[in-house]
Amino acid sequence: MLQLISKKNRLTDGQKSFGYGAFAAIGVFLNFERVNVMKVAVMGFGVVGSGVAELLKKNAPVIKENTGADLEVKRILDIRDFPDSEFAPLLTKDFCDIENDDEIEVVVETMGGLNPAFDFVSRCLKKKKHVVSSNKELVAQKGFELLKLAEENNVNFLFEASVGGGIPIIRPISRCLAGNRIDSIAGILNGTTNFIMTKMIMERTEFSDALSLAQKLGYAEKDPTADVEGLDACRKICILSSLAFGRHVYPNEVHTEGISKITLDDVEDADRFGYVIKLIAQAKKLENGKIYALVSPALVKKESMLAGVSDVFNACLVRGDMTGDILLYGKGAGASATASAVVGDIIDCADNREKRKVFGWKESVPGLIEDYRKVPVSLFVRIEGSKAEKEKVLSLLNPEKIFENSEKNEISFITDTEPEEELQKKLSLGGFKVLSSIRVTDY
């Protein structure tokens, strides 16, 4: 079948409109329906990449009817062989087959990791191809550089799927809420840890057993460090804060704690005070203009919208000065949900084929991120000690509510709000054993 190809950025605007008009007219005259098909390449044929290829194949007519975008996968890059795949004829192991193919206008990057993704994405942008990525590590580390490269080449670099899987988060923050000053964001951005915490809260399953179950069900990786120690959630909150506050927030600047030290005793005592424990990724714009960004286990009030987010689901609470609190909720991972977000971005590229959409953030500046220890917080604390030792800690911190576990010689309480370093100083005075200290959120 004859296909008429858009050659964006190689013609002047006048030539382009004349060209498209002429193509369309010929198409109508000859009754060709696909006058403006947009060719797509996918780099990385794993869970998400294969989901994108399948979604485009299955839903291309619906997408065309709903949006006018006529999309077709032309090439798929992967170093592995997939002889039984229906997409086998499109597979290549050579990146140059995509880089040097002028028909390909949009490249989807679903490879994950920094290398070779950064090199390949940079080269595609330099070749004036739009790039859509689901790669949170790439965006969190290299987002500013790639957005700048996209701007210089008048193409789009979009990454809706990099945070929250199928949940629309990037577009709502950058467009729908653009009339707000965003004050804060708090998210349950990692499905694996949310599944583990849900098992601990609802079924009182020990952490290690809940983790094994998450691995058995295919949620957690064999090496679950990035999920369990909060690194995955850190990358995601970096992307959201960069977008919400306008400057790149790098992962190494965000204090990150995981859930591996949370015990069932913490879960039970938090419950007594009316809270659940979740892995919360948060970012706030402080009055001094700095950003407070943090990933850590945190106590969330049982009535909070975030407390009801269970299993592998993700949610992101955005607090805008005009809207108040908004909760975006849904599947944070999985082939079809994530592919849906990728395809939304491809459609956006089709809508902004000729003129890059205004989107992104500026480079970081020194002092952008506040030292988390200076920010006032309230802590949930669990202490073990003798009667005198417990009295000592209570006189130092003077909490309003205390729970005494006489069987275990422990007390737990929630402190007033003070700069975290002041609270930690008091807790380090000794004479008692601090079993846990976990932040309490106000979401």
Enumerate the active-site residues: 236
Interface of this chain with ligand HSE, residues 410 to 429, rule: CB under 6 A: none
Question: Shortest approach of ligand HSE to residue 52 CB, angstroms?
Answer: 15
Binding segment toward ligand HSE, per CB under 6 A, in 33-41, 186-194, 282-290, 427-435: 186-194
Question: Shortest approach of ligand HSE to residue 439 CB, angstroms?
Answer: 21
Interface of this chain with ligand HSE, residues 153 to 182, rule: CB under 6 A: 165
For the stretch 63-71, contacts whose Cβ atoms lie closer than 8 Å and that sit 24 or more positions apart, written own/partner, are 63/343, 63/347, 67/347, 67/350, 67/351, 68/350, 69/38, 69/346, 69/347, 69/350, 69/351, 70/34, 70/36, 70/37, 70/38, 71/37, 71/38, 71/40, 71/343, 71/346, 71/347, 71/350
Helix axes 335-351, 47-67, angle to 10 degrees: 50
Question: Shortest approach of ligand HSE to residue 219 CB, angstroms?
Answer: 6
Kindly state whether residue 191 participates in binding ligand HSE, applying the rule CB under 6 A: yes
Among 166, 330, 332, 399, binds ligand HSE (CB under 6 A): 332
Question: Shortest approach of ligand HSE to residue 203 CB, angstroms?
Answer: 19
Of 187, 222, 215, the residue nearest 199 (C-alpha)? 215
Kindly state whether residue 441 participates in binding ligand HSE, applying the rule CB under 6 A: no
The three-class DSSP label of residue 378 is strand
Rounding to the nearest 10 degrees, give the CA dihedral for residues 443, 260, 264, 272: -20
Cβ proximity to ligand HSE, 202 vs 217, nearer residue: 217
For the stretch 15-24, contacts whose Cβ atoms lie closer than 8 Å and that sit 24 or more positions apart, written own/partner, are 16/354
Total residues at interface with ligand HSE (CB under 6 A): 9
Kindly state whether residue 190 participates in binding ligand HSE, applying the rule CB under 6 A: yes
In whole angstroms, give the CA distance from residue 443 to residue 429. 30
Cβ proximity to ligand HSE, 191 vs 385, nearer residue: 191
Question: Shortest approach of ligand HSE to residue 166 CB, angstroms?
Answer: 10
Of 365, 410, 416, the residue nearest 385 (C-alpha)? 410
Of 151, 211, 204, 97, the residue nearest 359 (C-alpha)? 151
Among 192, 412, 415, 436, binds ligand HSE (CB under 6 A): 192
Secondary structure element (H or E) that encloses residue 122, with its range: helix 117-126
Question: Shortest approach of ligand HSE to residue 296 CB, angstroms?
Answer: 17
On the question of a cis peptide bond just before residue 83, with omega within 30 degrees of 0, the verdict is no
Cβ proximity to ligand HSE, 100 vs 225, nearer residue: 225
Cβ proximity to ligand HSE, 332 vs 399, nearer residue: 332
Kindly state whether residue 227 participates in binding ligand HSE, applying the rule CB under 6 A: yes
128: number of Cβ within 10 Å = 16
Cβ proximity to ligand HSE, 137 vs 410, nearer residue: 137
CA quadruple 13, 19, 23, 26: dihedral positive or negative? positive
Binding segment toward ligand HSE, per CB under 6 A, in 32-40, 54-62, 189-197, 297-305: 189-197
CA 423 to chain centre: 31
In whole angstroms, give the CA distance from residue 63 to residue 258. 40
Q: x/- site string to ligand HSE, residues 13 to 52, per CB under 6 A? A: ----------------------------------------
Kindly state whether residue 232 participates in binding ligand HSE, applying the rule CB under 6 A: yes
Among 73, 155, 333, 383, binds ligand HSE (CB under 6 A): 333
Cβ proximity to ligand HSE, 213 vs 394, nearer residue: 213
Question: Shortest approach of ligand HSE to residue 239 CB, angstroms?
Answer: 11
Instruction: State the residues that interact with ligand HSE by CB under 6 A.
Output: 165, 190-192, 219, 227, 232, 332-333
